[in-house]
Amino acid sequence: MKDKLAAEAFGTFWLVFGGCGSAVLAAGVPDLGIGFMGVSFAFGLTVLTMAYAVGGISGGHFNPAVSLGLAVAGKFEWKDFVPYVIAQVIGGALAALVLYLIVSGKGDFSGVGGFASNGYGEHSPGGFSLMSALIIEVVLTAFFLIIILGSTSKLAPAGFAPIAIGLGLTLIHLISIPVTNTSVNPARSTAVALFADGWALQQLWLFWLAPLAGAALGAVVWKALLADTSGE
């Protein structure tokens, strides 16, 4: 079990450091910044690379919502859920700490601001409401679980699941960065909120509730409507 938890911590560290790091360090550079598209691909690449690197050890969840969804779908032991979540949150928080230390070393540093945190209302990149944020996070996390369950099913081509999952996460970010800055992952949201302005912690509840609800919904839909057609 120790190796599985270490794999989840390392994978979530890489997701937060690579994804949020790209948003904080590279997205807004004048003329050279990678923008929303670059950040979207950064998040997808973190999952793709770590799924290949350590997915064979732990299953490559790197996300409490994914762990919950897989447990609901019967693909993951419930007894391992809490330890996985703890490892994921710790890994993400360590990544955010390292990122904070890097950012605070900039010559004109005056604070981290939002620090790539997720938000709604005035803290949504596009000014979207709480209801909009709730809906998009639930829907996209549900589809993320369906992508995961489908790409790892018996009838899917072997060995390609990380690519589908990574590109799925990229697409999710391309859709929803303007709405919530994209969570679909409570560990990612918690990690940066710990170091961001106070509003991030105040809105964090939504980015636990919505992804967890969406993941459970995706798992239920998969089991009810799709599992029989995919060799499950």
pTM of the complete model: 0.94
Can you give the pLDDT at residue 232? 53
Residues 32-58: tens digit of each pLDDT:
889 999 999 999 999 999 999 999 999
User: Which has the higher per-residue pLDDT, 132 or 2?
Assistant: 132
User: For the chain, what is the radius of gyration of the CA atoms?
Assistant: 17
Determine the straight-line distance between the first and last CA of the chain, rounded to whole angstroms.
26
Domains of the chain listed by start with CATH number: 2-225 (1.20.1080.10)
Q: What is the DSSP string of 138-197?
A: HHHHHHHHHHHHHHTSTTSPTT-HHHHHHHHHHHHHHHHHHHHS--S-HHHHHHHHTTS-
Confidence bin at 111 (pLDDT 50/70/90): confident
Our measurement of the distance from residue 50's CA atom to the centroid of its chain's CA atoms, rounded to an integer in Å, reads 13
Which residue's structure tokens are 């807004």? 28
Residues 170-185: tens digit of each pLDDT:
999 999 999 999 999 9
pLDDT at 229 over 60: no
